[in-house]
Amino acid sequence: MKLVVLSCLLAFAVAAPRPDGDAVTLVDDRTDDGDGNFQYRFETSNGIAEQRLGAPGSEGQSNMQGDFSFDLPDGNRFDLTYSADENGYKPNSAFIPTDHPLPAHVVELLAIVEDLVRQGATWNDKGERLTRRK
């Protein structure tokens, strides 16, 4: 009985529609000079696209810059541009979370703490104040 159920589940999984399973490559453009310089660009019929340009870096690494994009299930388009070099990987996208500005009361509390530190106040690792203002 377990074998029958497992076979049915496997049959359903294989027969399930795969919208991306029928995607075809629309653009595939590649060049590689063999000296570390390269570029490529591709696009598929399901909306996936990427392009990348690479060159040798000053410290032996590959420096790259490029972008990629694809359609999200909610209908939005995900776009990301990036560069990668001796200074690290730097992505840029509206989908990357960013720090929010601190609320005004937190900025005020941090200013109070800085003032106390300038006056010689110290705290232990539990946040308990050890010394008072001088």
What pLDDT, on the 0 to 100 scale, is given for residue 63? 94
CA distances in angstroms from 64 to 34, 70, 131, 133, listed in the order given: 15, 20, 52, 53
CA angle 37, 40, 42 (to 5 degrees): 175
CA distance 42 to 27: 5
CA distance 68 to 56: 21
Question: pTM of whole model > 0.85?
Answer: no
CA distance 87 to 83: 9
What pLDDT, on the 0 to 100 scale, is given for residue 42? 94
CA distance 33 to 43: 22
- Confidence band for 98, pLDDT divided at 50, 70 and 90: confident
Let me know: does 24 contact 45? Beta carbons within 8 Å.
Answer: yes
pLDDT digits (tens, 9 = 90+) for 8-27: 455 545 444 555 678 899 99
